[in-house]
Amino acid sequence: MHKPITLITGASSGIGVELARIFARNGFALALTARRVERLNALADEIEAMRQPRPLVISADLTLSGATRSVADALNAAGVEPQYVVNNAGFGLVGQASNLDRAEQLQIIDVNARALTELSLAFIDSLERHKGGILNVGSVAGFLPGPGSAVYYASKAYVLSFSEALYAELKPRGIRVTVLCPGPVPTEFAERAGVKDKIGPGALTQTAATVAEAGYRGFMEGHRVVVPGFGNRVVMVLARILPRRIVLGLVSRRQSKRASTAERA
């Protein structure tokens, strides 16, 4: 049997970095994957300096169809297998879907939905052997329609639905599944998306460290869905009870402001 590790995607910045630190502090051996290997190595150095085992660093571009196979091969070559899979990698774009680059929007689906699905399903046997689980990073956006960021919001709705279904399917096998749905978080994600103003209202915005801590705690406690912050939980409830046309209007106005700011920058 290979040694158990925690595989974390998108571990080069933001929530992914904070999740890696938390898992390491709690004694889990790690495998970190992202495109920016220099950042992964810097994080591995930091974790090693904490007197924890140095994480395995795997370079992977999850927009590519063969990425999951490459990650699995790297794990196997190192003699390890996942006990936990943390699907944190993801990105979005702000603007009208008809105006944004089509190839980039398809890459959102590749990373946020396809790669997440592949990685969630690729290691079921080892997750069961080690009584582990899957932590998928979604978004409060998954509860909402997303005019002005249509593909991103739709991808996070997929993550939410898929994760909840896996929770029900895999629970009898002793595999926990949690979807973490944060609100606005000031990370490089916003810059990549084209957001130049404040990432979100102050009452909803939380740090990456706070979100990661809530996600880790909820995951280990076996929660199905974790929405950090009271304000974001209110948004989730309102999204479910308000008429859809009202929610569409509210999101559309917010995203239009973001798009106009990005265009002026």
Q: What is the pLDDT of residues 49-71, one digit of tens each?
A: 999 999 999 999 999 999 999 99
Q: In this predicted model, what pLDDT tens digit does every residue of 90-125 receive, in sequence order?
A: 999 999 999 999 999 999 999 999 999 999 999 999
**HSE-CB for 99 with a 13 A CA cutoff:** 9
**Tokens 């992914």, located at residue:** 16
Q: Which of 76, 79, 74, 93 is nearest to 33 (CA)?
A: 74
Stated pTM of the model: 0.90
Task: Name residue 60's amino acid.
Answer: A
For the stretch 45-54, what's the b/e string if a residue is b when 16 or more beta carbons lie within 10 angstroms of its beta carbon? Answer: eebeeeebbe
167 carries an active-site annotation: no
Catalytic residue, candidates 84, 152, 158, 216: 152
Banded pLDDT at 197 (limits 50, 70, 90): low
Number of Cβ within a 10 Å radius of residue 199: 18
Angle at 225 between CA 44 and CA 90, to 5 degrees: 45
**Tokens 């571990």, located at residue:** 11
3-state secondary structure 154-222: HHHHHHHHHHHHHHHHHHHHCCEEEEECCCCCCCHHHHHHCCCCCCCCCCCCCCHHHHHHHHHHHHHCC
Topology adopted by domain 3-264? Rossmann fold (3.40.50)
Q: Where are the domains of the chain?
A: 3-264
Q: In this predicted model, what pLDDT tens digit does every residue of 205-253 receive, in sequence order?
A: 899 999 999 999 999 999 999 999 999 999 999 999 999 899 889 888 8
In Å, how far are 38, 53, 81, 106, 233 from 5, measured between CA atoms? Answer: 21, 11, 6, 31, 32
Contacts of residue 258, defined as CB under 8 A and 6 or more positions apart, other chains included, come to 94, 148, 194, 195, 196, 197
